[in-house]
Structure 1
């Protein structure tokens, strides 16, 4: 689906520097100083309109969250949510997640969330999938030893591909659900896409994987 261009989006992001980080490279190595309270840092790659990351920040005030989204016209919707929620433990970054090592040092991030990422189903687009090995390498390079990736999708093909990718990379599969909403998993916070797909009867797939130190 083609996104509607929002020419005012950049100015709005600039107007709220307390939430939308303007020069993330300047915080590399000192992200613990970017938040009002110290705590582990969790990032969501592809934060979309921000429902998940905002609700996580509200539910876990002892954790600092960063939502990363490439599309400027999408992240402004997340910014609206953050402004309304007034959560001090949440920041947003409008950037390309393939360059995480430009913004974080090794060990600055404790967990990565990947929620309903674009499946890029064509073989020639495999390298664009957020669970492709080059992305896994970038996550590993900023995570703490034994850092985790929590992954959700409604796309069975992408889920199966991702489990193989995690395994081939040498990661430990800690949790796998083939039907999250009909499981006994507790504490799930839904994204906008998750609610929509689930209401249509789609199964939601979820995994938790850990890098080996």
Structure 2
């Protein structure tokens, strides 16, 4: 899918530093300063238009959330959601997942969400998948010990690849659902893509994995 360029996106981002964290490197190791309360921090990598992370922040006011999205033309939609909701426990970051170690320290993060990541189906693009071993190392370097990644997708190939990648890295597979919407899992909050794909009849896959 080709993204529509929005030349005014950066200007809008600059207007709302209270929602989109500027100079995140300066908060490395001290993200409690970004929020009103010192609480566990969960991050979503690839937040898209922000429905999931916004609804999670509403549902769990005792947790701080950061939605991470690399594309400015997309993150401004998440920004609109946050401006409307005005949640004290939610911030956004306009950065690339490959730069996470520059802006987070070990023990900064309590949980990572990966929702409907780009599957990068071609073999030569394997290193771009957010469940590739290099990314799993990055996540380990910013998560507290023993913490989890929660992963959802409608792409069976990516899900199978990710389970193999998680296992090969030594992660504990704590929960696996091959058809989330027909499972007994409670408290699921859908992303925009999840709602769209499930209405098309696509099966939704979900897993929870833990670093040991």
Q: Partner residue of 2:38?
A: 38
**Partner Cα distance (1:184, 1:64) in 2:** 26
In structure 2, runs of 5+ residues without a counterpart are none
**Partner Cα distance (1:140, 1:29) in 2:** 15
- Kindly provide the CA deviation profile for residues 150-195 of structure 1, in whole angstroms up to 9, marking residues without a partner as x: 0000000000000000000000000000000000000000000000
**Partner Cα distance (1:26, 1:51) in 2:** 27
Q: Partner residue of 2:58?
A: 58
User: Which ranges of 4 or more aligned residues in structure 1 deviate by more than 2 Å?
Assistant: none
**Partner Cα distance (2:137, 2:182) in 1:** 32
SS at match of 2:11: helix
**Partner Cα distance (1:116, 1:42) in 2:** 17
**Partner Cα distance (2:26, 2:72) in 1:** 20
Matched, 1:88 2:71: no
Q: Partner residue of 1:76?
A: 76
**Partner Cα distance (1:56, 1:25) in 2:** 25
Q: TM-score normalized by structure 2?
A: 0.99
Q: Partner residue of 1:195?
A: 195
Number of equivalences = 212
**Partner Cα distance (2:34, 2:3) in 1:** 31
In structure 1, runs of 5+ residues without a counterpart are none
> How far is 1:43 from its partner?
0.3
CA-based RMSD of the aligned residues comes to 0.4
SS at match of 2:209: strand
**Partner Cα distance (2:118, 2:101) in 1:** 22
Q: Partner residue of 1:123?
A: 123
Q: Partner residue of 2:179?
A: 179
